[in-house]
Structure 1
C-alpha cells in the first residue's frame, strides 16, 4: 500500500511546515498589512491544508496541534535538550541530503557566531538544491515515532509506559528511534523536528530580526511581537469556538481535538476526572482603587489571602470497591500525583464527610510549621517534596542529591526540620459529582467548598477571606482594601486575590485580580547589588528575539568581606554570586547596558589576579559568557525574598559570622534590574554586604535575624539548666511585645502608602484608559 494513503485517506506530509508550501513560518514578518497577521496567515494555511488533503485523516487535528504547539504537549517528555540532542544528531541525519560538514560543529549552536537555535544551525548543513525538498514521512508517522520517543522518558505520562497499543512490543533505544525519525528527512524538516523535540518552535517561527544587538533591540517593530497563539489557531481551525471551550475545561490538546472530531458543538464541554482544567489568568492590580475598577461591579467583592505555595489542582474519585483515586496537576498541567503523595492522606481526611462522588478542587500546597503553628516560607516546599516524592522525580532527586553531596560540595547536610510538613489550603471547587461548577458564581462555589472540606488544623485549611465591598461605593471599598492588604503584608503573606461574588470560573468580564506589592512600581523589595558577569540565555533571549551576541542574563554579586576591606585597604573586595537577573530593563536600557558590559569585559578564563576584586560563583549556575573588570552597581526590585534549593552549594565565603554548615542564603524572588549606576555616580563598593542582605530578608519575611542562630536551642537548654528560665521567659515576653508593636506600625505604614497611592493614581489618570495586564 502507498505509504501516503491509508484506509483510502491521503496522509498529510510532515513537510506541511515547509515554507515553500505555506507561509506559516513567516508569521514573524512585520508589516502594516493585515495579510501578515497571525490570524490571516493561519487561515490561509488551514485552507491550503484542507484543500490538499481533504478529507483530513482521523486524528489529524490532534497531530497538528501537538506538532505546532509542542510546549503545550504536556504528556510527552523527551528528556533531550540542545547539548544532548546535538550529540545524537551526528548519528541520525542522512549525510546524502543534509550534512556537508562535520556534525561536531552543532555543539556551537549557542556561541556568539551562531543563531542560538539548534534547528536553525541544521539548515546551514543543507546540501545545495535540497532546500525545498519534500520529505517522505507523513505527519502521523512522525507523531507516532514521537510517541515512541516519549516512552523512553520516565517523565512522560504514564499512558506511555502502560503497554500503549500504538507502540512496538520491543522497546527501542532513544538513539534508534531518533534515527528512524530523521531518516531521509530534508534539512528544513529536520530543523522543525529538532525544535519540536526541544518543545520550542519560537526561534524558527520568530527568529531575531538581526544578529546585531543594537538593531535587534532598538529597531524592533512592536507589530512583530505578534505570535500565533493556541487560541488563535483553535478559533481558525474551528470557527464555532467549541474546541476552545473544550480546552478550557479539559486542558489537553488530545481532548480538544477529539471533542472537535467527535462533532464539535454536539459534544458538551464538561470537566472530567483525571484531565486538568485550564487555570484562568488573573489581572494585575496596580493599586487598591485600580483593582476595584477592574471588577466594576455593584455586588460583593471578596479579598482572599494569596498563599505562597505551589498550585495543586486535585482530582478525587471514590470507586465502588472503596478505593480512592487521586490525581494532582501542577500549574503547568504536569501530572504531579506521585511527587505530592504525602498530601494524599490529607486530601482523604479533608473529604471524609463528603458524599462519595467525583470532585475537582483548587488548592495551594504550602509548607506548614508545627513549631510556629503557621504557614512557613515557600522555599521549604522543594525540600519537603524531595523528602516524600515517589516515582520518576524521586529518582531524579536521588541523582541530584548524589551529585550535590560530592566531596566538593560538603554543604548538603541540612534538610527541612521534622516540624515542617506539606499542607493544603483549598480555595475553589470545580466539579462535584456529575455537575460542573465552572459556570456557577463564586459565592455559591465558596459555600459548596466549605460544605465539602473538613478543615484540619495545620493540614487542610480553607483560604481566609475578607469582604471588601457588599455593594458600597468604590471609595469606601478602597478604604477597606487598604486595611486588609496592609494587614496581609504585616503578616508576611504574599498578597491578595480579589474575587467578585458573581464571577464564574475564568470569567473574562469579572476576572480574579491579584494584588502584590511588587506589582506597584516602587513598592517591591528594593536593594542595591552589583553585576559582575553576564551571558546569553535562550529562554529570555527568545522572548526578546535577540541572538547570542546579546547579553540578557546578569550575575548578581553581594559583598562578602566588608569587614576585612575596612580593616585592611589592600584586601580585594570579594563578591559572592548565587543568583541572576534577566528582567526589568527596557530594550533601550538593555542595549545601553550591553555596551557598558562589553566595553569592560574579559573572558571567564582570564586570570583573576588581573581583576580589582575576587569572586565566587555558585557552581550550579551556568558559566557566564563574560566577566566585568569592574563590577557595576545596580538597583534590583523583587517580590520578596526566597532561598534557592542549591544556594548553599559550592560557595567559599571568607567571613566569620556565617556558619561552617553553609546555611542557605536569601535572594530576591523574581529579581528585576530597575536602575543602572555609572561608576561616576556611585561606587560598586556601595552594594549591600551578605550580612546586610540577609538582615533585610529576615525583616521582609517577618523573622528576626536571631532566628537564624543554630545554637538557640542549646542556649535555651543551658539557661534553664542553670536556673535562668524566668529571665529567659521575661526576655521572650519583651521580644513578643516588640514584635507586636512592630507589626502594628508596619500595618499602619502600608495602609498610609495605599491611601496615598490611590490619591495619586486618581489624579494622574483622569480621562485616561489603562491596559490590563494579565498574570498566569
Structure 2
C-alpha cells in the first residue's frame, strides 16, 4: 500500500495560508493544530499499522527530527543542480531567474537608484523554484508517493559525510550497483513527475526549513497518537518511535486519543511494558531549562525546595551508552546534543571511560550489562590543572572524521586532552532511572564511579541549597554565582533534589517545548539555568559599528515581516583606531560577525526608513575594500567564507551595544568575538570614533577570560554587589522578554528626549518624559573603578573631560513607575515655623508624623531593610541627614538610619530656594537646635537611579545655598554638603576595596 504526496501538500499549503494571514498568533496556532488533527483523522485508515508511511509523513512534516540526515545542500548549490535537472540555461531565461533567486522577482536585475531597501527584495528559494516550474508545468500530480520522497531524501543524505553511517553505507552499496552516484542523478529520477507545488515542499524539506509555516513538533506528533511525543522523548529516534507506535502491542492495547482522564492510566501501562524505557544505542531526550533573569528570579522558580546547584561547564553535551556484553571496541557509544552518533569522532575519551568504569574487569566493575550516562566534554590542561575555553574542543573532536574550524588555530597542546564530567545516570543494567529522584541518581553515580580519574573522568561539582530558608539560601546563591562569574564559569544549573527525569503525570504538550527534551517546563520540577548575560546590564558588552545589513528569509518569516525588510546587521570594528584618534585619519572598518536577535520592531522599522536614503549596494564595488566617504570597509578574510556578504552598506554607520555571553573564537579564526551576540541598545547619538577598536576588543576578551587568582576575592565582592543591584531591578518572570515584542518607541522620539537637557539654572524638563523610557529605563550607575561624579556632572547630566561614560544598566519600567507613584500622604501638611538660627522648628503631633512618612505596600519589594556591619565607620553615623521628598516616604529607611545612630533627619523642600523653612524635621534625636550647633557632618541622601530629577534639583539647590549670602564664614554653613546614594545605608550594596574594607566612596555622588 502506498500514500501519495498529493494527499499531504494541500495540508502544507493550507498551513502556509494560515501563517501568512493577518490572524493573531494564538488563532493561527489553534487553526493549524485543528487542521493537522483533522487531516490525520481523515487519512488514519491509510496510515495505521504502516510504520513506513508514518515515518515518511513525519519526515516531511518535521524534518528537524531526522538528525541522521544531513544533505549538505544550500540554496545556491541546490539551484545549480536543479538547473541541470530541468535542462535550463544558466545564462538566460528561467535558469537565470532560478540562480538569481536573491534578486527582485528572481531575475537577477541590478538594483535601481542607490541600492535602497525598496529595490532589494530577497526572495524565497522554494517559491522561486515553484514559479519557474509553473511556467512549464508538465505533471498533473498524483504520480509520486511519500515513500519515494523518503527514499530520495535517504539517497541525498547518504551522499553527505555528516549523515549517519547507516545511510552512507546504504548509498555506498547502491553506487556499487550503479543506481545513485550524485545528487543530480537522485533528483533526475523523480523530479519530472513532481508538480510545482510538490517540488516547493520537497525543496523546503531538503533545506530543513519549512518557513514560513511553523509546525510545532509536540502537537503534531500527538495529533496522530498521544503517546508518540513521549516515545520520541525517551527514545530520540523518529524511526524507532514510528515503528513502536505501529506495533500490534500498542495498537491493540492503547487507543490513539483516549479521554483526558484516562491518559495517565495508559501512560503507566506503556511504562510498565518497557515502551517508555531507555534503550542502549538510542539517545534519550536531554533536559530543557528555564532561564533565570536574576538570583531573585531563581529563588522564585525554586519555590522553597532543596535544589542541587551545579556548575555549568563550557563544553559539549555528551550522552554515554555502555554495553559490556560487546567487545572492547564497541562497548562505548557516544551521542551528541543533536542526537548524532559521534562515537568515533570522540575516540579520545574512550580509553578514559573504559579505565574509569573498569569495563574490562568483570570482577571490579559495577556495571553488569549496560548503562546510560549524561556528561559534558571539555578540554583539560594538565600543567595548569584547569579547563580550557570552549574553542579548544575543535582541536580534539572530529566531525565525521574531519577537524573543522581549525584552519587558523595553533596545534593542540600536547599536555591538553579530553575530559568528561558526569552529572546524571538514566539506565543501569536494564533498570530505568527516569522515574528515580535526583538524589538517588547521584548516589548511584557515586557507587558506579568510586574512583574518578582526575582530569579525565570526574563527577560534576554540585552543592545543595535549601530554599525554604530564603534569606540564607539567597545569600549563598549570590556568593556561588559571584564565584562562578569570577572563575569564568559559564554559569550555574539548579535542579530540584527530589525531582525525577521524566514526569509522565504531566501533559506532554505543556511539559516540554519540543519532544526532544525533558525539562518539565511549566512544572515544579523545572531545571533552572543562571548565566550573567541573562541579567540586564551584567553581560559582556561593547559598542560596535553597524556598517551593513541584509534580509534573512528565515528570520523574516519568524518575525512575520516581508522578506525585503532588513533584519540582519553586520558588526565591525575599527582596525586603526589609535591613528584615527591621534592623527584623524580615515577609519578602516572590518566586519567580524552578523547580529540578528534582540532588535525590537520599532528600531527595525526606523532603520528601514533610514536605510532607504543612506545605504548603497555592497556588490557594486569590486575588490575586497569599499572606499566610503567617511570610512573604508572590508570583511575580515578569515570570516569571509563563513558569512553571507551584506546587501546594503550604511554611508553613516550606526552604533549598537552588542551583548554576549563571554567571548569565543569563531571557526577557522584566531581572534575573539562576543559569544551568542545580540543587540543591547542602539546609540543614535554616537559617532564612528565611539565604537570599539580591534585591539580594544581583543584585549577586552583576554581580560574577560584570564583573571588572575590574586584578584578573585576582590572581584567576587564586586560581583556580589552587582548581583544585588541586578536583583533590585530585575523583573520576576519565567523567561527573558523577547525583544521583538517590546514597546514600539521610535528612535526619533528617543533622540528628541535626549535633546531635552537641563541647564545649570535649574530648569528641568518634564520628569515623566525625561525618566520614563520604553521598553526599559536606561540608568547611569557609578563605576567603582572611577572617581565619583562632580556636582556639575550631576546637574547637567554631562561628563567631565577625559572621563568615560559610566556603564549603563537597564531597569524595568514598571518598577520605576512604582517608585515614582503618588503616595497616600495626609491632606494636612505639617506646620513649620522658621527659627532665628535659620533652622526649622517642628510643630505637629505623633499621628501626623507617622502619616507623613507612610508608604504604600507596593514599595515593600524595594528591600530597603538592612543593618550595616560597619556602623562606626559609616558616614551617616552621628551626622545630620537630609532626605529628598521621595525617600522621606520610606519608613523602613528611618529604622535603618536609627540603627546606624544618625542625628537629626530633615526633608529637603526642593521648591523653596531660600533658607527660611528649607526643610522639615521628620526624625532624629530630641533638641534639634542644640544638635545643629555642633560641628556635625551634613549628609544628603538621594536616589540617582530612580529619582534623577529630584537628585538634580537637590544638587542645584545645595549649590545655590553654598554660593548665596547664607554661606557666612564661621557659621554652620561652612561645613560642606556631602551627597550620597541612599544605598550607602544598606549592607547588601556595600563595595570593598583591595584591602577588604568597605568603600564608602563608591556611593558618594558629589561634595558641595
How would you bin the TM-score normalised by the shorter chain? 0.7 to 0.9
Secondary structure in structure 1 of the residue aligned to 2:390: coil
Which residues in structure 2 correspond to 1:640-659 (within 5 Å)? 640-647=662-669
Aligned 1:310-709 pairs, distance under 5 A: 310-319=316-325, 321-352=327-358, 353-385=365-397, 389=398, 392-394=400-402, 397=404, 412=408, 414-453=410-449, 454-469=451-466, 472-505=468-501, 506=518, 508=520, 509=523, 510-569=525-584, 571-604=585-618, 605-606=620-621, 608-618=626-636, 619-620=640-641, 621-647=643-669, 664-678=670-684, 681-703=685-707
CA contact (8 A) 1:19 1:25 kept: no
Output the CA distance in 2 between the equivalents of 1:35 and 1:139.
26
Q: Aligned to 1:502, what secondary structure does the other structure show?
A: coil
Instruction: Work out whether residues 542 and 657 of structure 2, in 8 Å CA contact, stay in contact via their aligned partners in 1.
Output: yes
Larger radius of gyration: 2
2:181 aligned with 1:173: yes
Describe the shift of the 1:112–1:523 C-alpha distance in structure 2 as closer, same or farther (beyond 3 A).
farther
CA distance in 2, matches of 1:46, 1:30: 26
Partners of 2:337 and 2:394 in 1: CA distance: 15
Name the CA shift for 1:496/1:35 in 2 (closer, same or farther; >3 Å).
closer
Counterparts in 2 of 1:697 and 1:202: CA distance versus 1, 3 Å: same
Is residue 748 of structure 2 the alignment partner of residue 743 of structure 1? no
The partner residue of 1:246 within 231, 236, 246 is 231
Counterpart-to-counterpart distance in 1, 2:189 and 2:8: 19
SS in 2 for 1:359: strand
Tell me, what secondary structure is at the counterpart of 1:37?
Answer: helix
Match in the other structure for 2:246: 261
Which segment drifts farther, 543-552 or 417-426?
Answer: 543-552
The answer to whether the 8 A contact 2:133-2:196 is kept is yes
Quote the Cα distance in structure 1 between the aligned partners of 2:698 and 2:157. 43
The aligned residue for residue 121 of structure 1 is 128
1:128 deviates by 6.5
What are the Cα deviations for residues 22-43 of structure 1, in whole angstroms up to 9, with x where unaligned?
A: 7344341453657952221111
Runs of 4+ in structure 1 off by over 6 angstroms are none
- Supply the distance in 1 between the matched residues of 2:168 and 2:300 (Cα, whole angstroms): 50
Counterparts of residues 57-76 of structure 1 (less than 5 Å): 57-76=50-69
- Unpaired segments ≥5 residues, structure 1: 1-8, 207-226, 405-411, 648-663, 704-738
- Deviation track 1:523-545 (CA, whole Å, cap 9, x = no partner) reads 21121121112222344334324
Q: 1:131 to 1:478 in 2, by over 3 A?
A: farther
Q: Who is 1:735 aligned against?
A: none
Match of 2:40 among 46, 64, 67: 46
- Residues 105-130 of structure 1: CA distance to partner in whole angstroms, max 9, x if unpaired? 21122335456322211221244696
Q: What secondary structure sits across from 2:434 in the alignment? A: coil
Q: Which runs of 5+ in 2 are unaligned?
A: 107-121, 255-269, 359-364, 502-517, 739-1008
1:38-89 Cα offsets, whole Å, 9 max, x none, are: 22111121122236x3766442211111111112211122221111111111
Cα 1:590–1:34 shift into 2, 3 Å: closer
**1:358-404 Cα distance to aligned partner (Å, 9 max, x none):** 1111111112122321001111111232xxx37x341x74xx77xx5
Q: What is the CA–CA distance in structure 1 between the aligned matches of 2:560 and 2:690, rounded to whole Å?
A: 34
What are the Cα deviations for residues 430-461 of structure 1, in whole angstroms up to 9, with x where unaligned?
Answer: 11110111111111111112222342122112
Q: Is the 8 A contact 1:303 1:496 kept in 2?
A: yes
CA contact (8 A) 2:235 2:283 kept: yes
What displacement does 1:252 show?
1.1
Q: CA RMSD in A?
A: 2.8
Aligned partner of 2:308 among 289, 302, 307: 302
- Alignment of 1:231 onto 2:200: no
Cα offsets for 1:388-433 (capped at 9, x unmatched): x37x341x74xx77xx5xxxxxxx4723322322211111111111
Q: What SS is found at the alignment partner of 2:193?
A: coil
Question: Deviation digits for residues 7-36 of structure 1, max 9, x if unmatched?
Answer: xx3x21011233289734434145365795
Partner of 1:188: 197
Structure 1 position 89 matched with structure 2 position 93: no
Moved more, 693-702 or 61-70: 693-702
Q: Is the 8 A contact 2:50 2:246 kept in 1?
A: no
Taking a change above 3 Å as real, the CA distance of residues 27 and 462 of structure 1, as seen in their structure-2 partners, is farther
Q: Residues of 2 paired with 1:670 and 1:355: CA distance?
A: 40
Preserved contact between residue 601 and residue 629 of structure 1 (Cα < 8 Å)? yes
State the 1:148 CA deviation. Answer: 2.5
Rounded to whole Å, the distance in 1 between the matches of 2:58 and 2:6 is 15
Deviation of 1:320 (Å): 5.0
Residues 1:751 and 1:108: Cα distance change in structure 2 (over 3 Å): same
Asked if the contact 1:131/1:186 (under 8 Å) is kept, the reply is: yes
3-state DSSP of counterpart to 2:700: helix
| Deviation (angstroms), 1:94 | 8.5
Contact 2:158 2:170 in 1 (8 A): no
Structure 1 residues 421 and 770, CA, compared in 2 at 3 Å: closer, same or farther?
closer
SS in 1 for 2:702: helix
Q: What number of residue pairs does the alignment pair up?
A: 659
Answer yes or no: is the 8 Å Cα contact 1:466–1:484 preserved in 2: no
Shift of 1:494: 0.6
Distance apart, 1:752 and its partner CA:
2.0
| Structure number with higher relative contact order (C-alpha < 8 Å, ≥ 6 residues apart) | 1
Alpha-carbon separation, structure 1, partners of 2:8 and 2:552: 27
